[in-house]
Amino acid sequence: MKKRIIKTSITIFFLFITLVFLIGLNKSSIYDTKDLVGKQLKNIELDNFNENKILRESDLKKNDFLLINFWASWCGPCRREHPTLLKLNRINNLTILGVNFKDKKENAKKFLNELGNPYDILAKDELGKDSVYFGIYGIPESILVDKDLTVIKKFVGPISKNEFNYIVKTVEK
Amino acid sequence: MKFKIFYILLIISFTNLNASQKIIDSNNIFKNIRCLICQGQSIADSNSDFAQTIKLVVNDKIKEGKTEKEIYEFLIEKYGEWIVYKPPFNFNNSLLWILPYLTFLFGGFLIFLLLKKRANR
């Protein structure tokens, strides 16, 4: 009887360990932004790009949806993403906030003059510290938020065609 | 006289202990923060742009008087638990914390049973 209990408990224990390893090793260890969805952006303080003024939450709640795009003139993928942002700018219910990331003002202005300005509001983050408050770890990155500044989705890298369709669908719902 | 010296030394040692507890070692924090764009590196080991920015933010938070725990909580809120090497105990990772102790207890129990069996022979 005792032998059977020992055998069964050893089997159960090893099955349990195998199961834990199986689940653990199959889990993706790549950084994912899904945890940020549903969280509200708070205590926003961004430097206005053109004026010596601070942009706060109240300045960003003018439309039902807000797309915060982090970009720089030195970033190649941002250049590729730019036509998509220009298309998104045509949507009525969406405000686009551009945060110029670790860039020189002159270069940023030149970039916008050359490719067009898709941003309704423009801010700058010269040291990149403000972007940490948005969970940014590289550019381009965009965050779609609702009127309460609750994160709907975060887009890492240039906005793809599917992601563009998702934004249009969400905003025009 | 001896007692006086003893008390003075005791007070000094407690004061030092309190002071050392209040000083936050930024390097210690850097070592526990994962560089999200690097391969298996903490921000202490990385010179990437991301690591440099996070270091600036952590130093700012220390200057603001935030505790080590508050700094981790802030970064977890922004980047998720993946950013720290030592995640806080919660339901999702409870197994990770408890399993080594369970294994230890189970091993002990097995050894106990085997020894008991051998003694009975």
The domain limits of chain A are 1-30, 34-171
pLDDT of B16 over the 60 cut:
no
Q: What does the radius of gyration of chain B's CA atoms come to, in whole angstroms?
A: 23
Place of tokens 């407690």: B14
* CATH architecture label of A34-171: 3-Layer(aba) Sandwich (3.40)
Chain A environment of B36 (Cβ under 8 Å): 31, 137
CA closest to B39 among chain A residues? A30
Chain B environment of A132 (Cβ under 8 Å): 53-54, 57, 78
pLDDT of B15 over the 90 cut:
no
- A105-115 and A76-88 are packed helices; what angle lies between their axes, rounded to 10 degrees? 50
Place of tokens 């303080």: A45
pTM (2 d.p.): 0.75
Tokens of A86: 């220009």
Measured between alpha carbons, how far is residue B22 from residues B9, B12, B67, B88, B102 in Å? 20, 16, 9, 21, 35
pLDDT of B24 over the 80 cut:
yes
Chain A environment of B71 (Cβ under 8 Å): none
- Using a 10 angstrom Cβ sphere, with 0-12 exposed, 13-18 middle and 19 or more buried, the burial of residue A68 is buried
Distance from CA of B92 to the nearest CA of A (A): 12
ipTM confidence score: 0.76
Walk along chain A (173 residues) and give the pLDDT tens digit of each residue. Answer: 677 877 887 888 889 888 878 877 776 666 666 778 888 988 889 999 999 999 999 999 888 999 999 999 999 999 999 999 999 999 989 999 999 999 999 999 999 999 999 999 999 999 999 999 999 988 999 999 999 999 999 999 999 999 999 999 999 88
Write the pLDDT tens digit of every residue in A80-90.
999 999 999 99
- Coil, helix or strand for A7? helix
**pLDDT of the residue at A29:** 60
Q: d(Cα B30, Cα B43) in Å, to the nearest integer?
A: 5
Of A13, A32, A137, the CB nearest to B106: A13
Strands (E), A57-150: 65-71, 94-101, 121-125, 141-146
**pLDDT of the residue at B91:** 77
